[in-house]
């Protein structure tokens, strides 16, 4: 009986300890989740390095047109990629480029169509 009584006495009045442990654990879970969400948001933000990479990719994919009209191609690539970066999050863009080319064009062309039209018109003028 004394052993049983000493176990009861040990836990008596220690309910506050359980509450503190539960609050601490809850706080750690909450801050861990908010840090994870914040980290994901940071990964979704476009950086200047992302912009430079996309512009270089665009320029290189221009092939002979980029060689023949480097200034016009640079302006077009900057215009189109700036519009894409404003319209889509980085995560959304990465999901789009996983799709077939036809679907990528269908989704993104309306966003930068005016850049493409200006580019085509500028090349026509330069070719005269």
Q: What is the pLDDT of residues 23-49, one digit of tens each?
A: 555 555 555 655 555 555 556 789 999
pLDDT of residue 95: 94
* Residues 6 or more apart whose Cβ sits within 8 Å of residue 34: none
Burial of 119 (0-12, 13-18, 19+ CB in 10 A): buried
Q: What confidence category does residue 77 fall into, taking pLDDT thresholds of 50, 70 and 90? A: very high
pLDDT of residue 13: 60
Burial of 82 (0-12, 13-18, 19+ CB in 10 A): middle
Q: How much is the pTM?
A: 0.66
């Amino acid at each position: 009986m004394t052993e049983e009584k000493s176990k009861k006495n040990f836990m008596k009045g220690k309910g506050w300890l359980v509450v503190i442990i539960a609050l601490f654990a809850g706080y750690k879970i909450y801050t861990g989740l908010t840090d994870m969400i914040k980290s994901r948001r940071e990964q979704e933000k476009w950086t200047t390095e992302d912009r430079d990479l996309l512009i270089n990719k665009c320029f290189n994919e221009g092939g002979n047109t980029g060689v023949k009209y480097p200034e016009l191609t640079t302006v077009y690539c900057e215009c189109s990629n700036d519009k894409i970066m404003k319209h889509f999050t980085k995560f959304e863009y990465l999901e789009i480029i996983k799709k077939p080319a036809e679907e990528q064009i269908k989704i993104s062309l309306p966003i930068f169509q005016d850049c493409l039209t200006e580019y085509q018109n500028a090349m026509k003028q330069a070719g005269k």
